[in-house]
Amino acid sequence: MSKKDDNKIENEIPVEELTETAAEAPEKKSKKKSGKKSKSSKELEELKTSNEELNQELSELKDKYVRLVAEFDNFRKRTRKERVDLIINAAEKTWVTVLPVLDDFDRAKQNAEADDNVEPLSEGVMLVYQKLYQTLEQQGVKAMESDGQDFNPDFHEAITEAPAPSEDLKGKVIATVEKGYLLNEKIIRYAKVVVGK
């Protein structure tokens, strides 16, 4: 554009309009800035709220994760313990079926040791008896000692009560009808006993 054209443009726009537009310009700029400020403060508030929500969600997820890890750890420990118990007590049913044979052996031995019995228990049968008890003890099966002990319903099953032969045997086991057995300290059969009263 030439100088002539510039002068022509200036002449065409009245000076009053130029001064008005010049005065309005800063107002428009300040309105734009304040609009930006209000817009940016709203965005900032939204970002803060969003950040708080995300932090809360993160803490909830962390809490769930920690609980899940703890639960899994407990599950792993419990299954390991159950597996060990299962291995240790796997033969329980087998030993329970053998116990009546032991009872018969005990009765035969008591019969042979009685004073009025003429026929003693043969030495071979006695060796078999001892060997069977030793084998069971090696496998973790042990007979409970009940005679003379305080009656304990956790270990004994009372068949009947009988008068105690002496005052100190009241409330105690005076006779064992059927021995109780433990397999690795777990009761596999309760002792059937007579309690003194």
Tracing tokens 């900032």 back to the chain, one arrives at 44
d(CA 107, CA 113): 10
pLDDT (tens digit per residue) in 85-125: 887 777 788 888 888 888 888 888 887 777 777 677 777 78
> In angstroms, how far apart are the furthest CA atoms of the chain?
156
**CA 37 to CA 69: how far, in whole Å?**
47
Does 91-196 carry CATH code 2.30.22.10?
Answer: yes
Q: Are 194 and 162 in contact (CB under 8 A)?
A: yes
pTM greater than 0.85 (yes/no): no
Domain ranges of the chain: 15-87, 91-196
* pLDDT tens track for 142-195: 989 888 888 988 899 999 898 888 888 888 899 889 999 998 888 889 999 999
